[in-house]
Amino acid sequence: MRVDMRKEPDARAGRPTVLAESAWFIVAVCVGCGAVLGELVRLLAGWLVTLRWAPFKGPAKLLESIPEPGLTIGAVSAGALLGLLVAFGALHDSLSVSVSDSHVVLTVRDTSREFARNEIRLAFPDGKQLVLLGRDSEELAREDCDLNGARLAAAFTEHGYTWADADPHRDEFRRWVPGTPGLPEGANALFKARDKALNKQDDAEDARELRGELAKLGVVVRDEKKRQYWRMPRRS
């Protein structure tokens, strides 16, 4: 379903709607989970030392040699610190969205991209991603997004943008395989490099950059279970 809302300006006209994940909530959850994990490690170490043979029994004995309450305090504190580091990483990678009557700003990894209202034809969610399409159905942006879908839809429609519940071009995508015909020159090489990046856990940024290079060639890319699918925009 596509929503296209046109309305008269109200008292909030011109004021952007900003959506971002709660930093305090992320920190609280990660620190709490880390503290619980630390306590579970302490309990696991206590159980391992009672066994005749077990993996990591040496480190477990070393851990159990720390007297209480120092052991519990240390384990919980170490887990909480680990959780805090995870929270900082999650916040760094999280997406914030600012929607106003004149433009949309997407900020992630300390980098902001601004799109003028007349550039954007459609916004929609694609799984856990937010997608913005241009006037010729080219992809302006595709970002991982854990923001509330209903709030996103309301933000875009309240400022007069067109919002869809799903990708209207989904049926146009074809799976990429090496040597796929019909692609611009150089696209197959980029897809091949990106395929390697998708299958390496630490190459997410490389895959992101290669998506951008494919977009420059006019190729729209979406991923599904590390498989790449593509389509070409409809040029007007």
140-162 pLDDT, tens digit per residue, is: 999 999 999 999 999 999 999 99
Task: List the structure tokens of 84.
Answer: 């805090």
9 pLDDT above the threshold of 60: no
For 49-203, where are the alpha helices, taking DSSP H only? 57-64, 70-93, 149-158, 187-198
Q: What is the DSSP string of 104-134?
A: EEEEETTEEEEEEGGG-SEEEEETTEEEEE-
pLDDT band (50, 70, 90) for residue 91: confident
Measured distance CA(223)–CA(180) in Å, rounded? 16
7 pLDDT above the threshold of 60: no
Round the average pLDDT of the chain to a whole number and report it: 87
- pLDDT for 213 equals 95
pTM reported for the whole predicted model:
0.77
33-74 pLDDT, tens digit per residue, is: 989 998 898 888 888 778 878 787 788 788 788 888 888 888
Tokens 């060639």 correspond to what residue? Answer: 217
Amino acid letter, residue 30: C
CB 80 within 8 A of CB 38: yes
Q: What is the average per-residue pLDDT within 202-207?
A: 81
